[in-house]
Amino acid sequence: MKHFRINVHIIPRKGLLDPQGKAVADALHTLGFDAVRDVHVGRYLVIETAAADVAAAEAAVREMCARLLANPVTEDFEIAGVVTA
């Protein structure tokens, strides 16, 4: 078994009202960042786990996301990177 650090992004599902992201976008506009079109506020998780290889580590994290880390009704997830710890 090797040790991995897996970075996961949990983001609000596209199309759903994201008032927090909108509030941040409005604040950026107030600061003069007029080019900002949209902001989405999600969560960033770093999972440290043992696994046989990268594929197994990714598969395990996908299952973790499906069962706990992301709400299947309102959120999507993406694995942003897997590094050997």
Partner 1 sequence: MKFGIVSFPGSNCDDDAVFAATETLGEPAVKLWHKDHDLQGSDVIILPGGFAYGDYLRAGAIARFSPIMHEVSAHASRGGPVIGICNGFQIACEAGLLPGALMRNAGLQFLSMPVTIRVENTGTRWTSLCEVGQRLTMPIAHGEGRYTVDAATLERVEGEGLVVFRYVDASGEATDAANVNGSLDNIAGVRNFAGNVVGLMPHPERALDAQLGSTDGRVLFESVLAAVHA
Q: Is 26 in the site for partner 1 (CB under 8 A)?
A: no
Q: Toward partner 1, which CB reaches closer, 54 or 76?
A: 76
Tokens of 17: 């009202």
User: x/- string (CB under 8 A) for partner 1, residues 52-71?
Assistant: ----------------xx-x
**3-class DSSP state of 50:** strand
Q: Return d(Cα 13, Cα 18) in angstroms, integer.
A: 9
Q: Between vectors from CA 72 to CA 67 and to CA 75, what angle results, nearest 5°?
A: 115
Q: Toward partner 1, which CB reaches closer, 74 or 84?
A: 74
Q: Return d(Cα 49, Cα 35) in angstroms, integer.
A: 39
Q: Is 31 in the site for partner 1 (CB under 8 A)?
A: no
Which residues of this chain interact with partner 1, rule CB under 8 A?
A: 16-17, 19-20, 23, 43, 68-69, 71, 73-74
